[in-house]
Structure formats: structure tokens, C-alpha cells
Amino acid sequence: MVWYTVLSESVELARQFERKYPFIKVDVLRASNPRILNRITTEVQSGKYNYDVVRTRDYVMHHLVQSGLVQPYESAERNAYEPGWRDEKGFWTSTDDNYYVFGYNTRLVSRAEAPKTWEDLLDPRWKGKIGLDGQDFELYLGLRKKWSEEKAQAFLKRLAKQDVQFYAGHTLLAQLVAAGELPLAWVFAHRAESMKSKGAPIEWVSNMDPIIVTLGPIGLGARPQHPNAAKLLIDYVLSREGQQLIQSFDRIPSRSDIKPRTAKLNRKQLPLLPLDPEVGGEIKTHMNRFRSFFGLQQ
């Protein structure tokens, strides 16, 4: 069986799956989202369907669904996943999440001073002190979904006047916050929690509504060479056992009945807003629009 995936820990997931089902061998091909999409597209054009299971970013999965490159599979494990974390037609279910939150350096910013609302970010005190990734189009999409197109655009144009600092990657942003080089930045909650547990001076805002969430969907190939084994793998990754293994990698499992690694990551206490994979149909447009608000090169 062949698994195309972007998840860095997929090899360990596959090894644990093989221990559970020793009669199945999983070949893991790990690559970036664009490379997986390009590889599948190129292979299919030549009449090859080499992949049995695919796990990508949400917007890539949308392309695969629209192109008929994955098929529905209603795993029994899907009942433990909330709406928004699973496709209503059965094409995909999310394996793990990224919660986008504002992290701050606790030596530079007190809990009382930390922003509590999106409007708080517009306070003059934060001018030149906010860090974002230059490709954070999810910020635009999340605010648009929560508010409206007009309100989201108006807010981002005002935020741009805060002299936002741009860096490549949310891990780097979290490291810069912990190092005191940035007082405040949009980071992944699980990364901040992991760093905090190791003594780093970083905390994050848990009540800013919404907390925008990106998903990691897994789906069944359109023409799997090993359909039964592929379904077993999907079942395993979505099961409590598989989700607890994902959590052990310092990730946030998508399954709703998994006890959070820390109390602060309790999904029931957070204003989570999962993005719709359907936005992937216009990803370039969304990216360019986000960058245009901040005067970044298209």
C-alpha cells in the first residue's frame, strides 16, 4: 500500500500501523503539498494511480476532490469528529489541526497587557511589534468567514498601518517571540505550548474570537491498488489509538474525544473556526489579496 502525505510523522504512524497489521506493508512518500498535488496529477495523466491514501493540507484536498482523485470513504471512526472537521460527503476527515493564535513574550508583555480582541491589535502600543508570515492568507479567510468580506478587508487595511513585521514560517515566529525579538506574533498554539513546557517565556491568547484552524485531511485514492488495506490505514489514523499517537508528536489531534495534552488546548473552551477546504479553489487569489493589504510583492 502507498501513502502520499505531508505529515512529517507519517513514517512512525505507518510503522505502528504495521505492528498492528503485520500482513500489510506501507510505503510512505512524504513531500510538500505542491509536490504531492503535482505528482498525483502527473501520474494520473499517464494513467497511473500509484497512491492508495493521501493526507494533505485542506486546500490541496479540495483540488483532489474536485478533480475526482479521491473517493468517499465513510470510516466508522468519523462519528468522533465534529462537523467542519469532516467532509459531509465522506471524501475526507481531518487528522490534526493547526490553531492560529497570538503568542507573546511573557518578559515583554504581561497577561493583562496582551491583546484580548482583534481590535486590540490596532492599539498604537503594538505598532512595529506584531509578527506575521507573509503567506498568512488564512488570516484573511478566517476573518472573512467570521465577519464579512467588507469588515475583514477594512480590519486588515487598518492592521497594515501597524507596521507589521513579516517572517517566513510560524515556527520561526514562535522562536522570535521566545527570544524576545518580537513581542507578539501569530503562531501555532501547539508549538507555543511545547516551547512553554520547556521553559520558554512564551504564552498565547486563548480567547481571541475566532481562533482560526487549518485542517489536515486524509482521503482514499480514486483507484487504490489496495483498497481494503487503505481503508484500514485511514481507520487507524482516525482511531483513538492513531490520534493519541499524533498527539504524542506534539500535534493537535482532530478527534473530539481525545483529552488535550494541556488544559489550555481544550477545544471545548476555545472559539475555534475551521477553514473550509473549498477555499482552495481560489488560493492564488486569496494569497494575492492578503499580501496586497500589506503592500507585499505579489
In this predicted structure, what is the pLDDT of residue 298? 73
Note whether 185 and 177 are within 8 A (CB).
yes
Q: What angle separates helix 283-293 from helix 137-146, to the nearest 10 degrees?
A: 90
Report how many domains make up the chain. Answer: 2
The amino acid sitting at 268 is K
In this predicted structure, the answer to whether residue 216 has a pLDDT above a threshold of 80 is: yes
- Residue 69: inside a domain: yes
pLDDT score for 279: 77
* Residue closest to 95 by CA, chosen among 273, 234, 227: 234
DSSP 181-207: S-SEEEEEHHHHHHHHHTT-SEEE-S-
Residues 18 and 123 in one domain: no
Residue 258 belongs to some domain of the structure: yes
Does the residue 142 lie in any domain? yes
Do 206 and 223 belong together in one domain? no
**C-alpha cell, 21:** 497489521
Same domain, 243 and 202: no
Euclidean distance between the first and final Cα of the chain, in Å? 40
Instruction: Please report whether residue 260 resides in a domain.
Output: yes
- What is the reported pLDDT for 4? 99
Predicted confidence at residue 277, as pLDDT, reads 85
Does the pLDDT at position 209 exceed 80?
A: yes
Same-domain status, 64 and 108: no
Pair (104, 204) in one structural domain: yes
Q: Are residues 176 and 289 in the same domain?
A: yes
Average pLDDT over residues 212-237: 98
66-96 confidence digits (pLDDT tens): 999 999 999 999 999 999 999 999 999 999 9
269 and 125, same structural domain?
no
Q: Nearest Cα to 4, choosing from 274, 44, 255?
A: 44
Strand partners, 274: 213
pLDDT above 90 covers a percentage of the chain that reads 96
pLDDT band at 1 (very low <50, low <70, confident <90, very high): very high
**Spatial distance between the Cα atoms of 4 and 247, rounded to a whole number of angstroms:** 20
Examine the domain organization and report whether 250 and 191 are in the same domain. Answer: no
pLDDT at residue 172 greater than cutoff 80 = yes
Q: Dihedrals φ, ψ of 64, to 5°?
A: -65, -40
* Average pLDDT of the chain to the nearest whole number: 97
Q: Does 217 lie in the same domain as 273?
A: yes
- DSSP secondary structure string for all residues of 218-273: EEEESS-SSHHHHHHHHHHHHSHHHHHHHHHTT-EE--TTSPPSSGGG-GGGS-EE
pTM of the model: 0.95
C-beta separation of 27 from 5 below 8 A: no
Give me the pLDDT at residue 44, please: 96
The CATH number that applies at residue 72 is 3.40.190.10
Q: Which domain holds residue 239?
A: 2-97+213-277
The answer to the question of residue 48 being in a domain is yes
In one letter, which amino acid is 163? D
Residue 150 shares a structural domain with residue 200: yes
> Does 186 lie in the same domain as 128?
yes
* Confidence at 196, pLDDT banded by 50, 70, 90: very high
Give domain status of residue 298, yes or no.
no
Q: What is the pLDDT of residue 152?
A: 98
pLDDT tens-digit map of 254-298 = 999 999 999 999 999 999 999 988 876 788 899 999 999 999 987
For residue 70, is it left (φ>0), alpha (ψ between -120 and 50) or beta?
A: beta
3-state DSSP call for residue 296?
Answer: coil
Residues 57 and 104 in one domain: no
Task: Report pLDDT for 281.
Answer: 72
For 132-171, write each residue's pLDDT tens digit.
999 999 999 999 999 999 999 999 999 999 999 999 999 9
